[in-house]
């Protein structure tokens, strides 16, 4: 298959883990590494992906290679494997806009080139890189910067995977623009491979399948990477709470019974995420069932497993001349797709799409 040329908007933790996952696949294309849900997506293997560049604003990353950028102190994702040839790809400057608003401004110094960068520079670079897919992995709440990247990709005619909670694929007006231009957009907000929301919705659907009635639930998440630092600011985390509620609503909960989202930054956890999950449900004769779960994962590899499917699905949708938001590809991979589905239906739709 022709290589899928991927550009990353954001050279942080998730970008590091995804690039490593691609490098692992490139080193042994015949293998099926743990966590790869679909070895083939419409004939595309993960080894067909090439990470050709990333955009960032951090002075310690801009102008350096991906390998060097991922080795900076602000990146806490574990380095499991070397990046190989893609590690030499450049980190290009992006306009700062609102990307460093909130707590991130205290730990990231913007590069001079990023201060001077313009949206049209992003579009120009995407065209010159002959990119196929842009993956947006900017900080939650950076609405202007996220939408700038979506507009730049649309102008360049390049498919978008929106890994953030910002509503792009759910924005009907934006999706009409993508559809009219013949460009694919997938989103919104990655549903981690086996993360808090994936486990939460699976448990809710199990209860419902046995005839139980969930009455209340909460999901409390803490971590120590820059994502959790950013989310410690309530003005930045609001869309994350909305996205998680969308996912739980699709699984059968009503809004009044949901409390789910990031609840704390604990620096020494680094890229570890800890989830405390509770569900209360009514069973036979009004008896009560309570589930309490603690889930501990490394956050960024958990995201990489989903991005591995999303970039190939975006390329496959483009090959099939689809455009706008493609819900058969979105419902399984994202917390807040255009139309939410229960996990079983979403998985069947995705597998049908990629077969």
Reported as a pLDDT band with limits 50, 70 and 90, residue 248 is confident
State how far the Cα of 276 lies from the Cα of 11, in Å rounded to an integer: 29
Residue with tokens 């202007």: 144
Q: Are 98 and 239 in contact (CB under 8 A)?
A: no
Q: Residue 124's beta-bridge partner residues?
A: none
φ, ψ at 133 (rounded to 5°): -140, 135
Fold of 196-298: Dihydrodipicolinate Reductase; domain 2 (3.30.360)
**Same topology between domain 4-191+301-354 and domain 196-298:** no
State how far the Cα of 205 lies from the Cα of 156, in Å rounded to an integer: 41
Is the per-residue pLDDT at 114 higher than 70? yes
Q: Are 149 and 129 in contact (CB under 8 A)?
A: no
Nearest to 185 by CA among 306, 323, 55: 323
Q: Model confidence over 58-75: pLDDT tens digits?
A: 999 999 999 999 999 999
Q: Model confidence over 309-327: pLDDT tens digits?
A: 999 999 999 999 999 999 9
Fold of 4-191+301-354: Rossmann fold (3.40.50)
Indicate the pTM of the whole model.
0.93
Q: Residue 5's beta-bridge partner residues?
A: 50
Average pLDDT value for residue range 179-201: 93
Q: Between residues 96 and 236, which one has the greater pLDDT? A: 96
> For the chain, what percent of residues have pLDDT higher than 70?
99
How high is the pLDDT of residue 236?
Answer: 81
Query: Could you state, in order of their start, the residue ranges of all structural domains in the chain?
Result: 4-191+301-354, 196-298
DSSP result, 238-302: HHHHHHHHHHHHHTT--GGGEEEEEEEE-GGGTTEEEEEEEEEEE-GGG-EEEEEEEEEEEHHHH
Burial of 155 (0-12, 13-18, 19+ CB in 10 A): middle
Question: What single-letter DSSP state applies at residue 53?
Answer: E
Is the per-residue pLDDT at 255 higher than 70? no
> For the chain, what percent of residues have pLDDT higher than 90?
78
Long-range contacts of 229-232 (CB under 8 A, 24+ apart): 229/103, 229/104, 229/107, 229/265, 230/102, 230/103, 230/104, 230/139, 230/140, 230/141, 231/140, 231/262, 231/265, 232/103, 232/262, 232/264, 232/265
How high is the pLDDT of residue 256?
Answer: 52
């Amino acid at each position: 298959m022709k290589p899928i040329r991927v550009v990353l908007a954001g050279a942080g933790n998730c970008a590091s883990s995804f690039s490593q996952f691609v490098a692992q696949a490139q080193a042994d294309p015949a293998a099926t590494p743990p966590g790869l849900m679909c070895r083939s997506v419409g004939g595309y293997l993960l080894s067909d992906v090439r990470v050709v560049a990333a955009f960032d604003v951090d002075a310690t990353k801009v102008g350096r290679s991906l390998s060097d950028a991922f080795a900076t102190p602000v990146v806490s994702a574990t380095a499991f494997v070397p990046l190989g040839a893609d590690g030499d790809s450049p980190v290009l400057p992006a306009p700062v806009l609102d990307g460093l608003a909130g707590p991130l401004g205290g730990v990231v110094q913007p590069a001079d080139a990023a201060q001077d960068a313009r949206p049209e520079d992003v579009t120009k670079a995407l065209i010159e890189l002959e990119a196929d897919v842009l993956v947006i992995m900017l900080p939650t709440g950076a609405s202007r910067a996220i939408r700038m990247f979506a507009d730049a990709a649309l102008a360049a005619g390049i498919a978008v995977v929106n890994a953030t909670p910002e509503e792009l694929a759910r924005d009907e007006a934006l999706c009409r623009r993508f559809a009219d231009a013949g460009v694919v957009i997938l989103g919104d907000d990655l549903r981690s491979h086996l993360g808090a929301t994936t486990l939460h919705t699976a448990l809710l659907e199990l209860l419902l399948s046995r005839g139980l009635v969930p009455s209340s639930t909460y999901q409390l998440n803490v971590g120590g990477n820059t994502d959790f630092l950013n989310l410690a600011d309530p003005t930045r985390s609001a869309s994350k709470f909305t996205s998680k509620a969308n996912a739980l609503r699709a699984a059968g909960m009503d809004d009044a019974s949901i409390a789910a989202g990031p609840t704390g930054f604990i620096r020494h956890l680094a890229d570890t995420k800890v989830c405390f999950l509770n569900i209360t449900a009514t069973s036979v004769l009004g008896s009560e069932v309570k589930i309490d779960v603690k889930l501990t994962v490394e956050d960024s590899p958990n995201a990489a497993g989903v991005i591995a499917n999303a970039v190939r699905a975006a390329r496959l949708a483009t090959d099939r001349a689809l455009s706008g938001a493609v819900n058969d590809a979105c419902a399984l991979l994202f917390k807040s797709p255009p139309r939410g589905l229960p996990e079983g239906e979403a998985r069947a739709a995705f597998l049908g799409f990629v077969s």
